[in-house]
Chains A and B, each alone.
Chain A
Amino acid sequence: MTTKLPEPRTHERRHPPQRTRRATLAARENRAGLAFVSPTFIVVLAVVVLPIAWTVLLAFQRVRLVDIQTTGLFGNWTLDNFAQVFLSPGFWTSLWTTLAYTVGTTAGSIALGLVAALALRRPFRGRSLLRGSMLLPFVAPVVAMAFVWEVMLSPEYGIVNEWGARYLGWDAPIAFLSQRTAELEILGLSIPIPVALLTVIAFESWRYFPFAFLFLLARLQAVPSGIEEAAMVDGATPLQRFRHILLPQLMPVLALLGVLRFIMSFNKFDDVYLLTGGGAGTEVVAVRVYDFLTARFDVGAAAAQALVLAVVLMVLLGVYFRFFAAKVQEETQ
């Protein structure tokens, strides 16, 4: 730690060696820093930044996988891919689906994580065991979890439909993963419910609530007990204590989780692909990108859609940071 005070000239003249020594120390630290950061920097450049830069180039070219050997990096610029993307109605639908899916899973996983963190806040017998078990959906492989849910929700041999019919009196089994909408009659109004979309949202919320739970529990346990005790002495009810003491303390973590979960689910591919294959009104943009790439071998259109998805995400995050920047920054520092 060096404090910068304006030094008198005489001082400087009297101790010239010290001054050069300090300068070389800083220079050496600078060199060491650059030396240590460059391997990581080069790897990041090679496996993340350059491929993404290439996606941008590909999005502006008419490229199919068959002619990939002959296409160069540049040339044949065109906006066709974007025209194709924006003009096809399927894209706009999938963008809306992506947005609904993202908002739903972000809210769902954080809400469930918060409830879980509050419930497991105080110690009880078996808490650490339960805490460990509650992280299972998060650490278990997505392929296995998707299959378990598929079997559980199956209309033919799934336990959910079986028990629904037996104990809840369902008239007919519900095809959770292949039914686009169901009409719900409430007060003479029939409201369409997007069944499959809600199911994939529930799955994703289930799989990622442990992530929110982990961070919120860690933060809750760092809240000094003094403030809460003081509020209790003053007669604040549990709900008031939560609203006025805990929630403000949790806000930065909640904001950070919100951003992280939003980014992650906005680009999510495997959960939706494994559960529904993008059918029954669950086609998110990431699944569409995959389909263009592997079914149509249309590299250019796939790149263009991925790029549009990334730009939409950036715009949304830009808007968010304009309004909530302070809170998130506080947390990430």
Chain B
Amino acid sequence: MTRAQLEDRILGVLRWVVIAFLAVITLFPFYYMLMLSVRPIDSLLLDPGRIWVSTTEFTIETYRAVLTSTEEGGQGFLRLLRNSALVSLGTVVLTLLAAIPGSYAVSRLRFFGGRKVSTLFLALYLFPATLLAVPLFVIFAKIGLQGSLVGLAIVYIAQTVPVSIYMLRNYFATIPKSIEEAAALDGCSRLAIITRVILPLATPSLMATGLYIFMISWNEFLFALLFLAADPEVWTVSLGLQQLAGGIEVPKTVLMAGSVVLTLPVVLLFYLAERMLTEGLTTGADKS
């Protein structure tokens, strides 16, 4: 057997070992979360090593505890879900409005200072959230926007705008310039070209970017903690779950149900649009 054949054989086996390993480490935590969320807490404490749930002990009491409103003795996660949805959708709209014109200009037009602005947009990745946290915390305390979902959506723009500009710019660059020129010859103004030609063509990228923004703001935790912690009425699901864990003793299985409630919307969205999202993220990254 030559060295090449030997390596081929070893790597052939190793490949499946690696694939199995990766499948386990990525899927098992999600399975574990789901499985614990439908088990009673004493069953977990009695037999922590078991990874299935028997039909006799199966319960959705945990979900009831998490989802029913606080007036009825639950944790009121339905309201938190609504808060999260409002903030995330608001962030998607605001970020796209803010990012589209700039990324179009940077990818398409030659103008004075264009390269500098382009560099600034790229440098946004360098600005860390911790640097932003201090002044935003102070500003919000000062103007009394603390505890406001609108305020949080505005803060989230800072988190989402760098990625959005990156994704949109890369996509705009792939649209042939000749299409725009044809539209211009037909008498379209620049604004009409964008709204009637470019944006419809860029729909896949807009969807992908919007989804990614939605995920970032749905999953965000630091700013929600800084701005909303004082007022349970406006908590997002992430914050509500963390506060639930930090507060009075709540069974771990209820926490897992809360985690499922927090995770499910994002994972569903992701599976619906996986291809679009991955292509949107890696456009321009795979050229030689």
Q: Which residues of A contact B (CB under 8 A)?
A: 26, 29-34, 36-41, 43-44, 47-48, 51-52, 54-55, 58, 63, 65, 68-69, 115-116, 119-120, 124, 130, 132-137, 139-145, 147-149, 151-152, 156-159, 162-163, 166, 206, 210, 214-215, 218-219, 221-224, 235-239, 249, 253, 256, 260, 263, 266-267, 269-270, 274, 285-286, 289-290, 293-294, 299, 302-303, 306-307, 309-310, 313-314, 317, 331-332
CB <8 Å contact, A43 and B135: no
CA distance A157 to B267 in the complex (A): 27
Per-residue interface assignment for chain B, residues 264 to 288, with 1 indicating a CB less than 8 Å from any chain A CB and 0 otherwise:
0011001100100010011001111
CB <8 Å contact, B266 and A48: no
CB <8 Å contact, A313 and B128: yes
CA distance A266 to B274 in the complex (A): 28
Interface residue from B15, B32, B101 paired with A159 (Cβ < 8 Å): B32
CA distance A332 to B105 in the complex (A): 18
Determine the chain B residues whose CB is within 8 A of the CB of A317 once the complex forms: 126
CB <8 Å contact, A116 and B18: yes
Determine the chain B residues whose CB is within 8 A of the CB of A124 once the complex forms: 19
Q: Give the B interface residue count (CB, 8 A).
A: 100
CB <8 Å contact, A144 and B109: no
Contacts A26-B110, A215-B282 hold; do A139 and B139 have CB atoms under 8 A apart?
A: no
Distance in angstroms from B202 CB to nearest chain A CB is 14
CA distance A270 to B121 in the complex (A): 25
Determine the chain B residues whose CB is within 8 A of the CB of A39 once the complex forms: 97-98, 101-102
Q: Which single residue of chain A is at the shortest CB-CB distance from B129?
A: A267
29 A–B contact pairs at CB < 8 A?
A: A33-B105, A33-B111, A36-B190, A37-B102, A40-B101, A41-B102, A43-B157, A47-B161, A51-B132, A51-B136, A52-B132, A52-B135, A54-B138, A55-B134, A63-B138, A133-B27, A136-B26, A141-B221, A142-B221, A143-B262, A151-B255, A157-B252, A214-B278, A218-B282, A263-B125, A274-B242, A293-B226, A306-B130, A306-B133
Determine the chain B residues whose CB is within 8 A of the CB of A54 once the complex forms: 135, 138-139
Question: From DSSP, what is the main secondary structure of chain B's interface residues?
Answer: helix
Q: Which single residue of chain A is at the shortest CB-CB distance from B212?
A: A139
Contacts A29-B110, A143-B242 hold; do A270 and B222 have CB atoms under 8 A apart?
A: yes
Contacts A132-B274, A149-B29, A151-B252 hold; do A68 and B282 have CB atoms under 8 A apart?
A: no
Determine the chain A residues whose CB is within 8 A of the CB of B139 once the complex forms: 51, 54
Residue B51 is within 8 A (CB to CB) of chain A in the complex:
yes
CA distance A116 to B122 in the complex (A): 28
How many residue pairs link A and B with beta carbons under 8 A? The number is 295
Residue B182 is within 8 A (CB to CB) of chain A in the complex:
no
CB <8 Å contact, A69 and B238: no
Q: Which residues of B contact A (CB under 8 A)?
A: 3-4, 7-8, 11, 15, 18-19, 22-23, 25-27, 29-30, 32-33, 36, 44-45, 48-49, 51, 97-106, 109-114, 117, 120-122, 124-139, 141-142, 154-155, 157-158, 161, 165, 190, 215, 218-219, 221-222, 226, 237-239, 241-242, 245, 252, 255-256, 258-260, 262-263, 266-267, 270-271, 274, 278, 281-282, 285-288
Determine the chain B residues whose CB is within 8 A of the CB of A222 once the complex forms: 286-288
- Top 3 nearest A-B pairs by Cβ distance? A40-B102, A33-B111, A267-B128
Interface residue from A68, A115, A303 paired with B141 (Cβ < 8 Å): A68
Interface residue from B120, B122, B126, B137 paired with A313 (Cβ < 8 Å): B126
CA distance A284 to B121 in the complex (A): 27
CA distance A87 to B98 in the complex (A): 42
Interface residue from B22, B110, B222, B262 paired with A141 (Cβ < 8 Å): B262
CA distance A38 to B114 in the complex (A): 11
Determine the chain A residues whose CB is within 8 A of the CB of B3 once the complex forms: 237
Distance in angstroms from B211 CB to nearest chain A CB is 10
Interface residue from A44, A159, A206, A270 paired with B49 (Cβ < 8 Å): A159
Determine the chain B residues whose CB is within 8 A of the CB of A221 once the complex forms: 286
Determine the chain B residues whose CB is within 8 A of the CB of A270 once the complex forms: 221-222
